[in-house]
Structure 1
């Protein structure tokens, strides 16, 4: 196995990486049946990866145990609303209409918003963008370069694609607690070509709806805030609509899950028992080429220590539950 060098030249991808060696946040996996290849997407940064600007990296694997990469599939371009030096969060790639669409959250800290932020954080432009490519390998190009998909007046993040029963595309996303104190999960109907919104946002649920006290105090004496992160939607074998999302529990990041009572996007949504604790979250589900459900998430929360963890899952028909951790598959022998 080649040891992972965070400052390695991304123009020179290496083979033999284990997940336990790769600094990663907000992981997203696409299982490409045509090539029998798993694609892992995560954010790329100047500090960790030697890039000259923020972007998105991909790693490839045939067995989920050894990975080749990193490959640069997207970098924040000049001349758009976002600042290339201010971050790229929560990348994910979806097949839609014969092409591949990258959803990633970008920022511009130098474009302030009106009002005062919560937790001592300022308000500024932050939102999910969509970029398109004909290949999982990229390069991806923005479909709307002048603003985020949802209005720039809202600080939003972690947008994901959901196709409803009528075949309509939606973006489900989180409204940032920095702006709202009580973070929310909301959704907006997208245009058929995914270039913008086709409706006003609808509210799905709030961070404070968690059935435990997940309120956090960013500093001593500060008001409580409620975090919503990493929303992802799936159908069970019983046709139940469930959503992964992340928040906090006793000061630690937690991977939790919700279920639509009506099995419609509009809900109402009920909160189920969390799936994984131990400062872990922002996970997503995918199926292996053998048909097994897997959960990938990152733990701990902070970079550069954060690493991907894998869990085999069980589809109960009503929801998904953890069957067993796959620390050995991730190359982590510490647990």
Structure 2
């Protein structure tokens, strides 16, 4: 089946080009994404970024898989000859532990992907989500992820100021190495505002939110045209879900990170990534943020010396 990209219902979209001229689109595709039994992740393929073939089953959990709900935000990264999917998973069983980021592997960008890490690589005592891979100049792989505003189901509500963290990974991407490092909090960005829902819309019960939380999610790291290390990330702003840019003052994952004063996208869309194709770069994200109306959106951007700007 062929679909225009604007017709693909998906949250947290991610585009990979491999091989050259062949694109794979993956994201959160379960119909019941907030709760209930999870199905897996689907992907789509294209030769022109406009017409997409799919859905193609990229991941279906094996019978003994540790997670059964909330399959979110898959990213596919080529690494040492194979493709690794970083994605968020949760378990509905009481006492099973909080949501976390795990790694899957395949020999092909469209899968099928199979479990690679032994459960989540993020700390198992706190809810974490939206992990992304970044390999620094010393070839050290990092997992950058968010500790969101949500709390444990049935337990204490989440934190009031969402956090962005990083942890080193082993060279085979199977395990975390050392202790996590806090990069910044949502309140470090002046544009980040408390999470809110439209009138008459209740937040998903599974999130167990505290009162007026700030939150972080959707990190994506990339280099500017002058080699500065930048991070695209999401929070809420004055007009709903939004994305901003942070810059590492040292050019390394551990920062310190400074925030641009205004979001790059402010109008109820987010969890994006920067995709570069030939001479063009795109901001890829879902818009609007209202389930089940989310669609994949591509907006052309210009990557400058130390910032990103929408073209036009």
TM value normalised by structure 2: 0.88
After superposition, give the CA deviation of every residue in 1:68-125 in whole Å (9 maximum; x if it has no partner).
Answer: 1000010222213211xx1210010001111100011011132348xxxxxxxxxx52
Point out where structure 2 has 5 or more consecutive residues left out of the alignment. Answer: 151-157, 204-209
How far residue 216 of structure 1 moved from its aligned partner, in angstroms, is 2.8
Q: Could you say what secondary structure the match of 1:72 adopts?
A: strand
Does the 8 Å CA contact 1:155/1:176 hold for their aligned counterparts? yes
Match of 1:203 in 2: 182
How far residue 278 of structure 1 moved from its aligned partner, in angstroms, is 1.3
How far residue 60 of structure 1 moved from its aligned partner, in angstroms, is 0.8
Q: Could you say what secondary structure the match of 1:20 adopts?
A: helix
Does the 8 Å CA contact 2:32/2:38 hold for their aligned counterparts? no
- What pairs up with 1:218-257 in 2 under 5 angstroms? 223-250=211-238, 252-257=240-245
Does the 8 Å CA contact 2:196/2:240 hold for their aligned counterparts? no
Question: What is the aligned residue count?
Answer: 291
Does the 8 Å CA contact 1:111/1:125 hold for their aligned counterparts? no
The whole-number CA distance in structure 1 between the counterparts of 2:89 and 2:226 is 36
Match of 1:3 in 2: none
The whole-number CA distance in structure 2 between the counterparts of 1:317 and 1:112 is 47
- Is 1:286 aligned to 2:275, yes or no? yes
The whole-number CA distance in structure 2 between the counterparts of 1:214 and 1:46 is 28
How far residue 199 of structure 1 moved from its aligned partner, in angstroms, is 1.2
- Is 1:27 aligned to 2:13, yes or no? yes
The whole-number CA distance in structure 2 between the counterparts of 1:125 and 1:172 is 17
Q: Could you say what secondary structure the match of 1:79 adopts?
A: coil
The whole-number CA distance in structure 2 between the counterparts of 1:213 and 1:79 is 40
The whole-number CA distance in structure 2 between the counterparts of 1:75 and 1:235 is 33
Give 2:140's match in structure 1, choosing from 164, 168, 171. Answer: 168
The runs of at least 4 consecutive aligned structure 1 residues that moved more than 6 Å come to none
How far residue 21 of structure 1 moved from its aligned partner, in angstroms, is 1.4
How far residue 319 of structure 1 moved from its aligned partner, in angstroms, is 1.6
Match of 2:80 in 1: 97
- Is 1:149 aligned to 2:121, yes or no? yes
Match of 1:45 in 2: 30
Match of 1:87 in 2: 70
TM value normalised by structure 1: 0.82
How far residue 271 of structure 1 moved from its aligned partner, in angstroms, is 0.6
Q: How much is the aligned-residue C-alpha RMSD, in angstroms?
A: 2.0
Match of 2:4 in 1: 18
The whole-number CA distance in structure 2 between the counterparts of 1:315 and 1:217 is 31
The whole-number CA distance in structure 2 between the counterparts of 1:296 and 1:93 is 14
The whole-number CA distance in structure 2 between the counterparts of 1:292 and 1:217 is 34
Q: Could you say what secondary structure the match of 2:94 adopts?
A: strand
